[in-house]
Structure 1
Amino acid sequence: MGTKLIIDTDPGIDDAFALALAALSTDVDLLGVTTVFGNVSLEATTRNARRILELCGRPDVPVAAGAARPLVHPQAERAAHVHGEDGLSGLSDTLPEPTRALEPSDAVSLLVSLLEAAEEPVTIAPIGPLTNIALLLAAHPHVKPKIARIVIMGGGLGTGNTTPAAEFNIYSDPEAARRVLVDEDVPCVLVPLEITHRCAVSTAWLGELAASGPLGATLEKLTASYQKLYHDELGLDGIVLHDAVAVAEAIKPGLLRTEAYPIEVDCGHGPARGATVADRRPGRRAGTTVEVAVDTDLDGLREFLLTRLAGTR
């Protein structure tokens, strides 16, 4: 089979699209899904992840719940105003009930067992706060050789979406993000706001998805809160599928063009808390670097997402 993948997620509407993208791709071996607090509570993110997998006909994929809060400080802000109180525009209860039980182990234990059992390196795609991944790397460093790369949706090189400086996933647990992006030596790809916003999809794109069949129609309905937010605040007739862009790169390496930069994460308590700072000065790239996504074929990426989610590839 193709890419061996584990997704760590906090659904969230764009997370739902990202999960569906992986679950429906025939060239992906989706080994497991772990959940984390973030857009809504851990209880809600876990429920949403399991229901999305059931919607996609993937009860074979194990799901384990992880961190309910950040490593050090309380979560400053959730995103119910973006995703709806239940994380899915108020429609979570309309999705099919999971037929597979939640794993009795926690998220980090599931990650360890899946990595240890893997016969080849596995890609991990964290598309929520990085708390589970920081805990994994800190407590179980022996699994690092089993990780092909960590493809992260998070950060912004010049701006934020939760504060002027910080993107939501990083801002939700800066200490965890710093552990993963700065202190570790596992290959990482960072997919920041600059590229995800450029990959926004239109209402016409969403209409094509809805017309593709019942599953596409269900996914499109979940975007109600999202569409209103982007229309009211940004004047966009469409949505930004942040997390699906990162998972697309996890599935198909090289879909996004990257450049290697040292990254720092601000863990202070001033106005820059949660900022991701890339050192882009010439000749300053010694030491640990992160591959940062900077460009892509926009139409090609949108077509990749649509054909996979519509089940035509």
Structure 2
Amino acid sequence: MTKKLIIDTDPGVDDAIALALAALSSEVDLLGVTSVYGNVPLSATTINARRILALCKRADVPVAAGAARPLVHRHPNEAGDVHGADGLSGRSAALPEPARPLDERDAVTLMAELLETSDEPVTIAPIGPLTNIAALLAAHPAAAAKIERIVIMGGALGHGNTTAAAEFNIWSDPEAAQRALTGGEAPCVLVPMDLTYRCAVDAAWLDELDSSGPIGAALHALTPDYREHYRGALGWDGMVIHDAVAVAEAIRPGTLQTERVPVQVECSFGPGRGATHADRRLPALRASTDDPDPAPDIELAVDTDLTALRALLLDGLR
């Protein structure tokens, strides 16, 4: 049975690969895609998502534009230095033009209506800032009953990538992330960059993607700026495809090994803003803490079979 899926995204090179993975999968019924600001402004993330779907010949999938800024505090900057000025290494315009108009509904309305009309539970995979997801949970509380899981790419248990403490997606809107991770309305899986970095792909993997066919070659062509960034970040020729790791788990539950722990987000101002705090103490010790309103447990992704995951991703994109 195919898994019903909605992707909330800010493409971004790794988002583009993740979106293509879902769009091409026979295991997925991709109900819709929603865009959010993040790696580049909303106008760019929206057209990038639509062009990736056009590349994958998925004119059946509606795309709706979402939040252009965080819930409370303005977004300090995008990540054009990592993904290129247009989010796709300057090559967005080389992709096919969208075959379907942008949906007239906003992202939150589209998600709420897709959830309401679905005859089965739906997985949501947010792979950008969590602004749209927090707004959905706040404005449409009844919709949560239809959510099977929210599989989030974000957070860092060790050091961050945007600041010393914070990973980009969570840092972009800490208040929204705190709302999504601690609200308890729907089961959450958090896929942090500690794990996604370990899942980085090397030059040989990228060469295989390039030679796999027209879609693989088109995706490979989007990577130069991103790959150059990660040559410095990793210290070798490869790149981290964070969002594809989370989408692989959304498509095939159990791909990642998880622990059930509460996770909270630092929303104060200062060097720790946007940090994700996972309480990995033993349950008995956590229970002894005098907290009148403890955060609910979520599934925190901590490990995977790296070889099998890389093969799964490559096979899905061929």
TM-score in terms of structure 1 length? 0.98
**In 2, Cα distance between equivalents of 1:58 and 1:184:** 33
Number of the residue aligned with 2:24: 24
Residue-by-residue CA offset, 1:227-247 (whole Å, 9 max, x unaligned): 100113331211100000000
Number of the residue aligned with 2:164: 164
Number of the residue aligned with 1:100: 100
For 2:79, give the aligned amino acid: A
Selected match of 1:304 from 287, 297, 312: 312
1:5 aligns to what SS in structure 2?
A: strand
1:271 aligns to what SS in structure 2?
A: coil
The share of aligned pairs that are identical, in percent, is 66
Contact 2:182 2:295 in 1 (8 A): no
Contact 2:12 2:39 in 1 (8 A): yes
Q: CA deviation at 1:183?
A: 2.5
Number of the residue aligned with 2:299: 291
* Residue correspondence of structure 1 range 1-313 to structure 2 within 5 A: 1-282=1-282, 283=284, 284=286, 288-310=296-318
Q: CA deviation at 1:159?
A: 1.2
2:136 aligns to what SS in structure 1?
A: helix
Number of the residue aligned with 2:291: none
Residue-by-residue CA offset, 1:254-298 (whole Å, 9 max, x unaligned): 000000111110000010000000011112167511100000000
Residue-by-residue CA offset, 1:203-226 (whole Å, 9 max, x unaligned): 100100111111111111111011
For 2:298, give the aligned amino acid: V
1:262 aligns to what SS in structure 2?
A: strand
For 2:311, give the aligned amino acid: E
Residue-by-residue CA offset, 1:18-53 (whole Å, 9 max, x unaligned): 000000001100000000000000000000000000
For 2:238, give the aligned amino acid: G
Contact 1:200 1:239 in 2 (8 A): yes
2:268 aligns to what SS in structure 1?
A: coil
Count residues with an aligned counterpart: 310
For 2:177, give the aligned amino acid: A
**In 2, Cα distance between equivalents of 1:67 and 1:272:** 24
TM-score in terms of structure 2 length? 0.96
For 1:265, give the aligned amino acid: V
For 1:299, give the aligned amino acid: T
Contact 1:33 1:63 in 2 (8 A): yes
**In 2, Cα distance between equivalents of 1:113 and 1:232:** 43
Contact 1:185 1:288 in 2 (8 A): no
241-250 vs 73-82, which deviates more?
73-82
Contact 2:123 2:147 in 1 (8 A): yes
**In 2, Cα distance between equivalents of 1:62 and 1:224:** 29
For 1:291, give the aligned amino acid: E
Q: CA deviation at 1:66?
A: 0.2
Residue ranges of structure 1 left out of the alignment (5+ in a row): none
For 2:309, give the aligned amino acid: L
**In 1, Cα distance between equivalents of 2:107 and 2:215:** 27
**In 2, Cα distance between equivalents of 1:198 and 1:233:** 13
For 1:258, give the aligned amino acid: T
Number of the residue aligned with 2:290: none
**In 2, Cα distance between equivalents of 1:85 and 1:132:** 23
20-29 vs 178-187, which deviates more?
178-187
